[in-house]
Amino acid sequence: MKKSIYNILKGTFLVSDDAFKNWRFILFVSFLAIVMIASSHSADKKVYEIARLKNEVKEMRSEFVDGRSRLMRLKMESSVVKIMKEKGMATSVIPPKKIKVKSQNR
């Protein structure tokens, strides 16, 4: 047991006669580690992108609600009357008349 740990620390398993098997395994494990690191970075990128898009959606939703509330205030009759008075128009004092059309049957 002591000898095998000493050989691993010394690195004799890399230069022995059957070292080709060990090198293949080391290269395979290194390749898997690189793939794992790349996949982790890709996942982190996606998480940051999702967080950024969520913030953007919240901001756009608040702009939409703000715009809708401003539109509702502009459409109120009192604000329309006020804007029309500034332009020189006033509300009619004469009530509207209903027009009736009689159809002529032949």
pTM: 0.55
Could you tell me if 13 and 19 are in contact, meaning their C-beta atoms sit under 8 angstroms apart?
yes
| Domain definitions of the chain by residue range | 2-86
pLDDT, one tens digit per residue, over 24-57 is: 888 999 999 999 999 999 999 999 999 999 999 9
What φ, ψ does residue 101 adopt, rounded to 5°? -110, 125
The token pair that represents 91 in the structure block: 């509300």
Q: Does residue 13 contact residue 7 with C-beta atoms inside 8 Å?
A: yes
Taking only the tens place, the pLDDT of each residue in 58-76 is: 999 999 999 999 999 989 9
